[in-house]
Amino acid sequence: MQVGTLKPSLTKTLERRYRAIELPEGEDRETFLAEHGGDVTAVVTSGRFGVQADLMDRLPKLGAVVNFGVGFDTTDVEAAQARNIVVSNTPDVLTDCVADTAVALLLDVMRGFSAADRFVRAGRWPSEGNPPLTRQASNRRVGILGLGRIGGAIAHRLVGFNCTISYHNRREVAASPYTYYADLAEMAREVDVLVIAAAGGAGTSGLVTRDVLAALGPKGYLVNIARGSVVDEDALVELLLAGQLAGAGLDVFAHEPKVPQALLELDNVVLLPHVGSGTVETRAAMEELTLANLDNFLHSGTVLNPVY
């Protein structure tokens, strides 16, 4: 069964190859589950939708939740474990594109490229002259929240910009060449840019608090390619409006696809519609790995990329 909107080609393959059914929304949902829920053995979904415990309860034969994407925070993994339901995702194949996006956001927000593009398109250059000067992006102190696959790839790229890298994790990464901070706010005080690459979910919800953002300070920049839930979005907006942060590059938001109206009006904020992995090559690889996880479960009862 498909839960939520997926890549069109993936939906077609699920229908054609597996005769998958799609869970409807609204008042038809309960009728649909009453009729089909007892036959569902696998669900294919994405990080935007996921599978919560109440839906698992309606699917007594469910054995696997197969996620299209690396994020699985919208799926209740503890409930899945309690019911012996395996959960998979698609790691590695999107690492490069998401890391590229993080670096692009860092460059854009510090150099003001998107704002400069709007300045030219609005015809302001001839009448107003050059836009204000921006900040150099190379040779910066960058702190990374979450030095996993994607965080490590971001760090590797930024070393090429002669940046000094530090990081915060739940625990120190053995043999890492970068400086570890056990305290996130302390790291924020010591860097020019804070890049969020942590996994979403209850364990990281609101981890970047008002205090952490305040520690980053009026000359500091925030880049988030992880999950909007990791950041106190209200505090982020307030500090940006008050000039207590230099800028932000955001690919994710707390209540997607809704974006705070105030952010739309700020030239020191770059806003992307959650497109970190949105390339032809990466999405094709994610689709292939999603189907491989599904096939493996249907044939052997296990998945290639379990998340626990």
Active-site residue among 168, 274, 283, 287? 274
Residue 299 identity:
H
The sign of the torsion formed by the CA atoms of 48, 3, 7, 18 equals positive
pTM of the model: 0.92
User: Which architecture, in CATH terms, is 8-91+279-300?
Assistant: 3-Layer(aba) Sandwich (3.40)
pLDDT, one tens digit per residue, over 222-246 is 999 999 999 999 999 999 999 999 9
- CA triplet 91, 138, 277: central angle to 5 degrees? 20
Provide the 8-state DSSP code for 24. P
Strand partners, 271: 250
Domains 8-91+279-300 and 95-271 belong to one CATH topology: yes
State yes or no: is 227 an active-site residue. Answer: yes
Give CA–CA dist 285/287, Å, rounded.
5
Residue 259 identity:
V
**Ramachandran angles phi, psi of 63, nearest 5°:** -120, -15
- pLDDT for res 203: 84
DSSP string, 184-197: HHHHHHH-SEEEE-
Name residues whose C-beta falls within 8 Å of residue 118's C-beta, 6 or more positions apart in sequence: 267
Give the residue carrying structure tokens 């890549």.
7
- pLDDT for res 200: 85
Q: E-strand spans in 91-246? A: 141-145, 164-168, 179-180, 193-196, 221-224
User: Which architecture, in CATH terms, is 95-271?
Assistant: 3-Layer(aba) Sandwich (3.40)
pLDDT, one tens digit per residue, over 128-141 is 999 999 999 999 99
**Ramachandran angles phi, psi of 64, nearest 5°:** -150, 140
Residue ranges of the domains in the chain? 8-91+279-300, 95-271
Strand partners, 2: 22, 44
Are the C-beta atoms of 107 and 85 separated by less than 8 Å? no
Active-site residue among 227, 233, 283, 287? 227
Structure tokens at 164: 């000094």
Of the candidates 78, 21, 20, 69, the one whose C-alpha atom is nearest the C-alpha of residue 49 is 69
- pLDDT for res 26: 83
- pLDDT for res 27: 78
| Ranges of the chain whose pLDDT falls below 70 | none
State yes or no: is 141 an active-site residue. Answer: no
Give CA–CA dist 110/141, Å, rounded.
13
Active-site residue among 128, 172, 256, 288? 256
State yes or no: is 256 an active-site residue. Answer: yes
Are the C-beta atoms of 110 and 137 separated by less than 8 Å? yes
- pLDDT for res 87: 97
Give CA–CA dist 192/143, Å, rounded.
8
